[in-house]
Chain A
Amino acid sequence: MAQHKVNYTQDGGLPVALTSIDKIVNWGRSNSLWALTYGLACCGIEMMASGASRYDFDRYGTIFRASPRQSDLMIVAGTLTKKHAEFIKRLYDQMTEPRWVISMGSCANTGGMFNTYATVQGVDRIIPVDLYLPGCAPRPETLQYGVMLLQKKIRANKAGNAQKPKRLM
C-alpha cells in the first residue's frame, strides 16, 4: 500500500480538500485548456514558439490538438482572409461546449495592417471572441499572459448549466 504523507493538522486531518463543484470543475477546465492549432500566418510561428522549448506551454496544461473535437480553446493566430472565413466557422462549430476563443495579433483582432479587399476585418465578425491579444506579432509572453487571463475568466464563471453557450448572433 502506498504511504501518503498526511498532515493531520490541516483539513481536519484528512488527505482531502473540501470545495464546491464549481471550483473543482473550473480547476479542471482552466488547467487543461487544449488548444486547436490554428496558426494562420506570422502569429502562428509565435504560437509554435510558445509551445516549444523556451516558453514551454505544457506547464499551463495547454496542449495543442489538431482536431477541433478534442480541443476547447481556439487560438486564432494570424490573418483571417475572406476565402478562409467559412472554414473557421466550420471548425468552431465542431468544437464542443464550453469553448473559448483567443484572437491573437492585430490581424485577427481588427484586420490590422492589412486593410485590403481580401482580409476579414476582425475574426469577431465570424465567431465570438473571449480575449484579444494586441501586437504584430504578439510575443509568446503575451500569449502566456493571455492564457492566464483566460484561466482567470474561466474560474470566475459558474460551472453548471447556467453557463450559456456563446453565440455571435
Chain B
Amino acid sequence: MAQVKNRLRPFFENITFDREDNELVLNFGPQHPSSHGQLRLMLHLQQEQIVKAHPDIGYLHRGMEKMAENMIYNEFMPTTDRMDYIASSSNNYGFALAVERLIGVEVPRRAKVIRMMLLEINRLMSHLFWLATTALDIGAMTVFLFAFREREYLMDIIEGYCGARLTHAAIRIGGVPLDIQDTFISQLKTFLDKLPQNIKDYEDLLDSNRIWLMRMEEVGVISTEMALSWGCTGPMLRASGVAWDIRKEEPYELYDEVEFNVPFSDKGDNFARYRLYMEEMRESAKILYQTIDMYAKCVKDAETELMAHAPKYISAPKLDIMTQNYSLMQHFVLVTQGMRPPVGEVYVPTESPKGELGFYINSQGGPYPYRLKLRAPSFWHTGILTDLLPGHYIPDVVSIIGTTNIVFGEVDR
C-alpha cells in the first residue's frame, strides 16, 4: 500500500495570529525533557513574562480507577506500583492500609517494622530522584550523577528484598510477604553511614551556587492560603508554613514510637522546598536507624509473624497452605474469587514522599471495590501551576515544575 499522509495539521495552523494584544501563546510539552513526564502547559506570554498558564494533563491517564473496579483487591496491588513510580512501596502501602482498615485487621509488629523500613527507603529514593532531576533541569549535571549513584545503592537493597528495582509490589494486604534478606541491614547501615557526607556534598555544590540561588530564591512563592486552598500537602505545604505531616499528626504503623522532626519553612519559595527535601532525607535516615534497632528487638523477642491472621480475608502462611487442607481451600478461594470485605467505605491518608496519598474505597460486600478513588498529591500540585506561574518568567517555569515534584503516573492515574 502506498504511503498515506497522516491527518495531523501543522502546529501553526492551530494558533490564531490576528490577535490584537501582544500575547504569544507558547506550547510547552507534552513531551519536554523538563516537564517531568507528560505535562502540557499552554503559556500566554507578554514578552518573557507569563500572564496566563493553562496546564493540560491526562497524557498518562491509564484508567486505574476503572481497573480497580474490575479487579479483586490483591490483583490491584501491582497496579498501584505504577502510580508514583519513583516510590512504589508507598503506594502499595497506602492501598494495603486502606483495605486493612476496611476489613479491620491488625498487622504483626515485625511486618510493621519492615514496612516502615521500606517506606523510608522509598522516601529517600524519591527525594534523591527529585534532587537529581531538578538539578539536571537547572543545569547542575554533577548533582544528577551524584544523586543517581546513591539512589542505585538503595535500589540494590530493595531489589534484594523484592526482586524489582522500580515496581516493587513489596507489601501485601495484611503484612509483608517475606522477611528481609540477610544482607539488608548491613547494606542499609553502610548506606546510612555514608549518607550525611553525601547530603553535605550536594549542599556544598548547591547551597552557595550563584546560579542555583538565582533560580531558586524568591521564585515560585506559594502563600499559606494558596497552598491550603489548592489542597497542597507534603513538602509543598510544609514549605509554605504549615507543619503538617501525617506521620506525626495521624500516626500509622509505628511512627508514634520513632523520634523524628517535621522540618518546615515559612518562605514558600523554591529554595525553601529544596532545603526541606534535604532536611527530610536526614530525618528519614534518623527513622531508618531507629527501625534497625526495632527490627533487632523483634528478632530477639522471636516475633516471626509477617502476615496478619484473618482467615476470611488473608491467606495462611505458605507452610500451612502446603500442609493443611483447610488452609489450602481457603487460599484457593481467596485467590480465585478474592476476599469480600464488609459493606462500608473508608478513606485512609498516608504520607507519601510527595504528600498526602489517600485511598477512598467504597465496598458493597463483593470481591471488587464498587468505587476506588485515588487521592494523589501531585494532581493538586500540578493544578497550582495555574495560579503560580502567572507573573513569572519563562526560565522560572522549569525550576517551579522541578520543585513541585510532580509524577505523572500519579497526576493522571
Residues of A near any B CB (own CB < 8 A): 37-42, 44-46, 48-49, 52-54, 64, 66, 78-79, 81, 83-84, 86-91, 93, 113-114, 116-119, 136-137, 139, 167, 169
B274: Cβ under 8 A from any A Cβ: no
Chain A's closest residue to B132 (CB) is A52
* B62 contacts A114, C-beta separation under 8 Å: yes
Provide the bound-state CA to CA distance between A64 and B3, in Å: 30
Residue with the highest number of chain B CB atoms closer than 10 Å, among A37, A45, A88, A89: A45
Which residues of B are found within 8 Å of A118, using beta-carbon distances? 61-63
* A54 contacts B63, C-beta separation under 8 Å: no
Chain A's closest residue to B133 (CB) is A48
Which residues of A are found within 8 Å of B165, using beta-carbon distances? 46, 49, 137, 139
What are 17 A-B interface contacts by the 8 Å CB criterion? A37-B33, A40-B37, A40-B60, A41-B37, A41-B60, A42-B82, A42-B85, A45-B166, A46-B166, A48-B133, A49-B165, A81-B412, A83-B59, A84-B38, A93-B6, A118-B63, A137-B85
* A89 contacts B85, C-beta separation under 8 Å: no
Which residues of A are found within 8 Å of B148, using beta-carbon distances? 48-49, 52-54
Residue from A37, A81, A114, A136 within 8 A of B59 (CB atoms): A81
Residue with the highest number of chain A CB atoms closer than 10 Å, among B31, B63, B66, B409: B31
* A169 contacts B3, C-beta separation under 8 Å: yes
B391: Cβ under 8 A from any A Cβ: no
Other A-B pairs beyond A40-B38, A87-B59, A114-B67, 12, CB < 8 Å: A39-B37, A41-B37, A41-B85, A46-B166, A49-B148, A54-B149, A87-B30, A87-B31, A113-B79, A114-B63, A116-B63, A118-B62
Size band of the interface chain B makes with A: 35 or more
Which residues of A are found within 8 Å of B67, using beta-carbon distances? 114, 116
Residue from A83, A93, A137 within 8 A of B166 (CB atoms): A137
Which residues of A are found within 8 Å of B59, using beta-carbon distances? 81, 83-84, 87
Chain A's closest residue to B58 (CB) is A83
Residue with the highest number of chain B CB atoms closer than 10 Å, among A88, A91, A119: A119
* A49 contacts B152, C-beta separation under 8 Å: yes
* B409 contacts A42, C-beta separation under 8 Å: yes
Which residues of B are found within 8 Å of A116, using beta-carbon distances? 62-63, 66-67
Report the minimal beta-carbon distance from A54 to chain B, rounded to whole angstroms. 5
Report the minimal beta-carbon distance from B398 to chain A, rounded to whole angstroms. 12
Chain B's closest residue to A84 (CB) is B59
Provide the bound-state CA to CA distance between A126 and B38, in Å: 18
In the complex, the number of residue pairs spanning A and B with C-beta atoms less than 8 Å apart equals 101
* A45 contacts B38, C-beta separation under 8 Å: no
Which residues of B are found within 8 Å of A44, using beta-carbon distances? 37
B4: Cβ under 8 A from any A Cβ: yes
* B82 contacts A52, C-beta separation under 8 Å: no
Provide the bound-state CA to CA distance between A114 and B61, in Å: 10
* A91 contacts B85, C-beta separation under 8 Å: no
Which residues of A are found within 8 Å of B408, using beta-carbon distances? 41
The digit string for B57-98, where 1 denotes a CB below 8 A from any CB of A, is 011111100110000000000110110011000000000000
Pairs of residues from A and B, 6 with the lowest C-beta to C-beta distance, nearest first = A52-B148, A116-B63, A42-B85, A53-B149, A66-B33, A114-B62
Which residues of B are found within 8 Å of A88, using beta-carbon distances? 31
Report the minimal beta-carbon distance from A39 to chain B, rounded to whole angstroms. 7
The digit string for B144-177, where 1 denotes a CB below 8 A from any CB of A, is 1110110110000000000001110000000000
Residue from B132, B166, B412 within 8 A of A42 (CB atoms): B166
Given contacts A52-B145, A113-B79, A136-B167, contact A45 B66 (CB under 8 A): no
Provide the bound-state CA to CA distance between A27 and B60, in Å: 37
Report the minimal beta-carbon distance from A122 to chain B, rounded to whole angstroms. 14
Report the minimal beta-carbon distance from A116 to chain B, rounded to whole angstroms. 4
B129: Cβ under 8 A from any A Cβ: yes
* B30 contacts A41, C-beta separation under 8 Å: no
Provide the bound-state CA to CA distance between A101 and B409, in Å: 23
